Chains A and B, each alone.
With several copies, the nearest count.
Chain A
């Protein structure tokens, strides 16, 4: 055991530098976490999604849809079959979105990915299963509803649900998007302004 600790603990003359470095890394991480409002990413509040302006047009279209009162982003876009899966999926997606956003890799027209499609489809069914399940058919033939529930995407017909059909970073550009908390704290602003002057 102590062998291992010895192995990890750097030689005396390095200890200060390493401690400072670790402190810096943790600090920077926390800073990024803060600046990017990552905490909010863990919540179900739709406002968290428009933390990134790239999600504005989806927010806007959802905000004008009949689902606004009934389903938030995560109701559709995150798996709800168990709690672990929910947060795992969120973290995975969140990481990719954040990375792409920061590296400016987002395309003009964002398209939902294969994995996301399945999640959403499952969620449509989760809420609407009553309507689309034909019990009589189930009694006859257990697979009958496969088609309605799996093979075909609901939004092949319900093309406007919930985001409408026009998709681009610029769609709904005049919409009222709630003002997300200002990301740059005043003390940083002050420092920056001082340096400039």
Chain B
């Protein structure tokens, strides 16, 4: 029997020829797809954009419209201009071009964002990093690499082109592990099934003071002290780092960006060794063969293949389990959101009445910490299911701090002569909220239109030209 297996394997090696040879740094998903049509076909389904679950999904949803308080929380920062529900990997390029956050650059030296923004959007990234150097990749404006980076997230982001093994293609993850004294080479295969995602679904910041890389916006994961909300906060506090200064409260703010991997690690599924791929890329079968589903989406759109292999409950029950947890967690996250909006507005009132830096210092740090906690809970999109107990813990502590700020503000405001409660602003729609914080939306939209009509098509043309010179080598 044993020898029979070996024999069959040899046979197989002979029959299954690879249609094309995939070269190093090959960024084009359709080229890989020639060898792996099943996986590629399922990958193509990432372009579906019609599934909305209660809180997530791949439908296009304007999050600022759905919850205008976000505009106030992010006043003075790009996210207050535009923020949408994340969609499938195939939209990565389209969405980053479309978002008002990247502005309307007219040439490669313009625009609000650094080139680093491309890092998690495309398999062109490792290619360009290899060509230009890592530090160099992170230097300059976002528009600088527009013509280079055109293929949406795909095969080369996660796979070795020769063996198809999972592999890490982004330096930031390796560097972060290194600073924690760990080595990704020691990771088990099962861990790799989450670590490929941890290249992107993690909290990050742009280090502008990195020794040896001054002048760049060096992509860095703030994990040196640990991955908990407190440990990352400590990291940023120690570095005196802030992403921006809040437009109303003047607090030195932090933006938490999708700490998906960090929060997943604290949940029961990670504790039991379940990987991201187990739920988001379950096995499917076709022609009596199992393959990995490359339609990476909300598992709620595919409960049968994801959850039900491990859980025998009915689909409706499992859906209810997810929603129950999300509802319970998000109820208080919403409350915290409101409290922070109030704190920003109260702080602004205090400044307006002539508060001194000294009087405001503690209050602003409280606001910073409260919003960091809120964002850690909110931006880690799946986390109210991935790890509801930890996220609840984070939210509770956020509420405590937000309210401490407001207790101090209550005392301060009376001393400054303000009686009673500061009224809650009228921010019932996105438009009203953006007006409240003073954003010139028309201008932003015009610039973006302009960009999409002029510069973007140039990038595409240039890329098409470049790729036409990258041959596809067919095995005969």
Is there a contact between chains A and B in the complex with CB atoms less than 8 Å apart? yes
Q: Which of A28, A108, A129 contacts B284 (CB 8 A)?
A: A108
- The answer to whether A32 touches B304 (Cβ under 8 A) is no
A-B contact count (CB 8 A): 120
Closest to A29 in B: B2
Contacts of B13 in A (CB 8 A): 138-139, 142
Is A32 in contact with B1, judged by CB distance below 8 angstroms?
yes
Residues 83-123 (chain A) with a chain B CB within 8 angstroms: 101-104, 107-109, 111
Give the secondary structure class of A's interface: loop
Could you tell me if B289 and A134 are in contact, using CB atoms closer than 8 angstroms? yes
Q: Does A183 contact B (CB under 8 A)?
A: yes
Q: Which of B16, B35, B278, B288 has a CB less than 8 Å from the CB of A131?
A: B288
A160 to B: closest C-beta gap in Å = 6
Binds A, one of B88-96, B307-315, B376-384, B398-406: B307-315
With A165-B310, A171-B309 as given contacts, are A138 and B9 in contact (CB-CB < 8 Å)?
A: yes
Instruction: Identify B2's interface contact among A31, A109, A133, CB under 8 A.
Output: A31
- With both beta carbons as reference points, the residue of chain B lying nearest to A167 in the complex is identified as B309
- Is there an interface contact between B12 and A168, defined as CB atoms closer than 8 Å? no
| A64 beta carbon closer than 8 Å to chain B | no
CA distance A118 to B289 in the complex (A): 23
Instruction: Type the 1/0 row for B1-35, where 1 means its CB is closer than 8 Å to any CB of A.
Output: 11011101110111111100000000000000001
Q: A32-B1, A32-B2 are in contact. Are A144 and B164 (CB under 8 A)?
A: yes
Which of chain A's residues have a CB closer than 8 A to the CB of B164?
Answer: 137, 140-141, 144
Complex Cα–Cα for A60 and B2 (A): 28
Does B16 lie within 8 Å of A135, measured CB to CB? yes
Q: Does residue A20 face the partner (Cβ distance < 8 Å to B)? A: no
Answer whether residue B469 sits at the interface, using C-beta atoms and an 8 A cutoff.
no
Task: Flag A1-39 by CB within 8 Å of B: 1 or 0 each.
Answer: 000000000000000000000000000100110011000
Cβ–Cβ contact A141 & B163, under 8 A? yes
Contact B163 A130 (CB under 8 A): no
- Which single residue of chain B is at the shortest CB-CB distance from A130? B288
- Whether B189 sits at the interface, judged by CB under 8 Å, is yes
Do residues A109 and B308 form an inter-chain contact, with CB atoms below 8 A? yes
Is the C-beta of A187 less than 8 angstroms from some C-beta in chain B? no
Contact flags A149-163 to B (C-beta < 8 A → 1, else 0):
001100011111000
How many chain A residues have a CB neighbour from B under 8 Å? 51
In angstroms, Cα B190 to Cα A23, docked, is 55
- Also in contact, A108 and B285, with CB within 8 A (given A129-B5, A183-B9): yes
Is B309 within 8 A of A157, CB to CB?
Answer: yes
Contacts of A37-84 to chain B: CB distance below 8 A? 53, 80-81
Contact, CB under 8 Å: A169 / B283: yes
Please tell me if the beta carbons of A136 and B1 are within 8 angstroms of each other in the complex. no
Q: Is the CB of B6 within 8 A of A183?
A: yes
* B358 contacts the other chain (CB 8 A): no
Name B residues whose Cβ lies closer than 8 Å to a Cβ of A: 1-2, 4-6, 8-10, 12-18, 35-36, 162-165, 188-190, 273, 278, 282-285, 288-291, 304-305, 308-310, 312
Taking Cβ atoms with an 8 Å cutoff, the residues of A that contact B are 28, 31-32, 35-36, 53, 80-81, 101-104, 107-109, 111, 126, 129-142, 144, 146-147, 151-152, 156-160, 165-171, 173, 183-184
Sorted from nearest, which 6 A-B pairs have the closest CB atoms? A170-B283, A135-B12, A139-B16, A141-B163, A147-B189, A168-B309
